[in-house]
Amino acid sequence: EDWIARVQSDPSVLKCAPEYARSDPVVVMEAVKHSGSTLGYAVPELRGDKELVSMAVSKDGKSLQYASAELRDDKEVALKAVLQHGRALEFASERLRGDFEIVHCACTNEGNSLEFATPEWQRDEKMVLLAVQRLYQQTGDLRKSQRNLPIQFAAEELRSNSDFMWQAIQLDPRCINHASEDIRGLLKEKMKKHLKFEATQTGAEYFTRFHGQDQWPRATAVAV
């Protein structure tokens, strides 16, 4: 049976293919060229083949989860994965989840990738602010996103730091909800004063009452 032609037509058929087909690197390569996640149907030996895995993660970064432990610890492979899908960081080795270049690329691609970074980077002010800024830029209108925010994955010591949280709020006003309770009230007052000042400067209408986050003007990004 011509499994090459079959997976070219429908890569998902690799799931029900006999072992000889799932062991054939040519068949598997054809499948992952069309759908990276089909790497999960290949025999374990082929999930340790760098060429096959590299092709798979370039099509679907999250297919890194099916790679061998050795390749999940391969920086070149992991970098391709997080460039394709930031949250593929979840499946990289612990060593690489602590690697600056890998984490930076993941958070630039998708801010919420910060969730899977090692604690070192969840405590790093610049990395957290990068993640906050990137997700806000990616989601745009505040009302359209109910997703988790990168600030939720920041270390408690940062969420308790009023100066840091003010920087985060300037990048994404939704961060106010994740400030530590003991500083949240002060930050809300600061936001009101800041918005009132901006409205005075621009002549824009100032909202004297807050009925929800969707009324907050778009924040001006600060340098990270």
Residue-by-residue DSSP string for 95-151:
TGGG-HHHHHHHHHH-GGGGGGS-HHHHT-HHHHHHHHHHHHHHH-SGGG--S--GG
Which segments of the chain are extended strands (E)? none
Q: What is the mean pLDDT of residues 157-179?
A: 93
125 burial level (CB within 10 Å; 0-12, 13-18, 19+): middle
Supply the pLDDT for residue 165: 94
pLDDT exceeds 50 at position 201: no
Supply the pLDDT for residue 192: 85
Q: pTM of the full predicted structure? A: 0.83
Helix (H, G, I), strand (E, B) or coil at 205: coil
- Which range is most confident: 66-80, 129-143, 159-173? 66-80
pLDDT exceeds 70 at position 25: yes
| CA triple 147-39-15, angle to 5 deg | 105
Which residues are within 8 A (CB) of 144 and not within 5 positions of it... i.e. 6 or more apart?
A: none
Are the CB atoms for 63 and 28 separated by under 8 Å? no
CA separation for the pair 159, 58 (Å, rounded): 35
Residue 146 banded pLDDT, cuts 50, 70, 90: low
Taking all residues of the chain, what is their mean pLDDT, rounded to a whole number? 87
Tell me which of 219 and 38 has the higher pLDDT: 38
Percent of the chain whose pLDDT exceeds 70: 83
217 burial level (CB within 10 Å; 0-12, 13-18, 19+): middle
Supply the pLDDT for residue 140: 61
Residue 194 banded pLDDT, cuts 50, 70, 90: confident
Residue 198 banded pLDDT, cuts 50, 70, 90: low
